[in-house]
Amino acid sequence: MGPLITQGIISPEWNPMIAFIIGIGFGFALEQAGFSSSRKMIGIFYGYDMIVVRMFLTAVLTSAIGLLFFNYLGWVDYDLLYVNPTFIWSAIIGGLFVGLGIIMSGFCPGTSFSALSIGKIDAMAFVGGIALGVFFYAETFELLFEKLFKAGNLGNIRIYDTLGISPGLFMFLFIIFGIGLFWFTIFIKKKFSARNLKY
């Protein structure tokens, strides 16, 4: 888990327990932040609530900057980090379906389980739909989805390698992008708040 196992500080047997504790903590944080309400997620698409975008952007920036400094300190080796291979077409089509599901339900997979934990009926329906979808996908993968899944295989690519720049320069540009996106979410929220949209 992180640099703790690779540095020999803890044994690999602790992986499941640490993942369980982090998962419980993440779910608790989501619920405490109000993300168990489908109106939070829907607010992104209607422009009246941008807290989800800000929270996840903050999490991504914190993690990315942390990894960059851990790499410089020798605690994490970038070359040893596993990067999932990029299958461009399945990523695009899958992203469209996930986005459509979020718009229709007001949940993403993480927030749906957070809402399920406090007994929300709409979250039960959403999680049930996830279970059915996973079952259908697994049972028909070779017949229907395998060619699409493997189409456009770009390998284990990283954005900064593709752009031909250093990780540090990419992080600097990403921070600027993050600041700009924060400003944009404030602008959007002010614009839609003027219409007196309530949630």
Least confident of 8-17, 49-58, 170-179: 8-17
pLDDT bracket for residue 77 (50, 70, 90): confident
- Check: CB of residue 112 under 8 Å from CB of residue 126: yes
Residue 173 inside a domain? The answer is yes
Average pLDDT over residues 155-175: 88
Per-residue confidence (pLDDT) for residue 39, from 0 to 100:
83
What local confidence, expressed as pLDDT, does residue 166 receive? 87
Q: pLDDT tens digit string along 79-107?
A: 777 888 889 998 899 889 888 888 888 88
pLDDT digit string, tens, across residues 18-43: 888 888 888 888 888 788 888 888 88
* Mean pLDDT value of segment 166-192: 87
Proportion of the chain above pLDDT 90, given as a percent = 15
Question: Of 121, 91, 92, whose CA–CA distance to 106 is shortest?
Answer: 121
In a domain, 198, yes or no: yes
Q: Are 137 and 151 in contact (CB under 8 A)?
A: no
Q: Is residue 168 domain-resident?
A: yes
pTM for the whole structure: 0.71
Do the domain assignments include residue 105?
no
Q: Residue with structure tokens 């709409």?
A: 122
Kindly tell me if the per-residue pLDDT of 115 is higher than 70: yes
- The boundaries of the domain holding residue 53 are 47-83+158-199
Which residues, listed in sequence order, are joined to residue 86 by a DSSP beta bridge? 155
- Tokens for 21, please give them: 């504790």
Domain-located, residue 35: no
- From the number of C-beta atoms within 10 Å of its C-beta (0-12, 13-18, 19+), residue 7 rates as exposed
For residue 182, tell me if it sits in a domain: yes
Domain for residue 58, yes or no?
yes
User: How many domains, the chain?
Assistant: 1
Over 60: is that where the pLDDT of 2 sits? no
Question: Amino acid identity of 107?
Answer: F
| Residue range 3-8: mean pLDDT, rounded | 66
Q: In the 3-class helix/strand/coil scheme, how is the chain assigned residue by residue?
A: CCHHHHCCCCCHHHHHHHHHHHHHHHHHHHHHCCCCCHHHHHHHHHCCCCHHHHHHHHHHHHHHHHHHHHHHHCCCCHHHCCCCCEEHHHHHHHHHHHHHHHHHHCCCHHHHHHHHCCCCHHHHHHHHHHHHHHHHHHHHHHHHHHHHHHCCEEECCCHHHHHCCCHHHHHHHHHHHHHHHHHHHHHHHHHHHCCCCCC
| Residue 76 domain-assigned (yes or no) | yes
| Whether the predicted pLDDT of 157 surpasses 60 | yes
